[in-house]
Amino acid sequence: MKTEKEIRGEARRIRDRVKELSGFWIGEASAAIYALEWAIDKREAPPSEDIGKARGGREKIAAALVKLAEKTPPPRVKPRGAAGKKEKKRPGRRV
């Protein structure tokens, strides 16, 4: 059995991970966080009763995750060469 501290830590790690992912994962992350919060009695209704509910707990978590992701700057990517690939040096004849 996991302790409450371990479960809260896992929910925090999910929130941190969502910042790096696309919006596609918001729904899965909110469901996972809701289930973890229910396990430590932070949510009254079990996850099975929250699914499909308007303004349910998962929906509120998802909205918070979207706001969190919007505040996080996008990851920096090093620009590649003009062609997008490194040019290979070819031994060839000299003109």
Q: Which amino acid is at 35?
A: A
pLDDT given for residue 12 in this prediction:
92
Maximum distance among all alpha carbons in the chain?
79
Rg (CA), the chain: 22
CA distance 50 to 54: 9
Does pLDDT of 95 surpass 70? no
**How is residue 41 written in tokens?**
């009695």
Each residue's pLDDT tens digit, 27-86: 899 999 999 999 999 888 888 887 777 778 888 888 888 888 888 776 677 777 655 555
Between 87 and 68, residue with greater pLDDT: 68
Q: Where are the domains of the chain?
A: 4-71
Does pLDDT of 6 surpass 90? yes
pLDDT given for residue 69 in this prediction:
80
CA distance 31 to 3: 20
* Residue 14 φ then ψ, to 5°: -65, -45
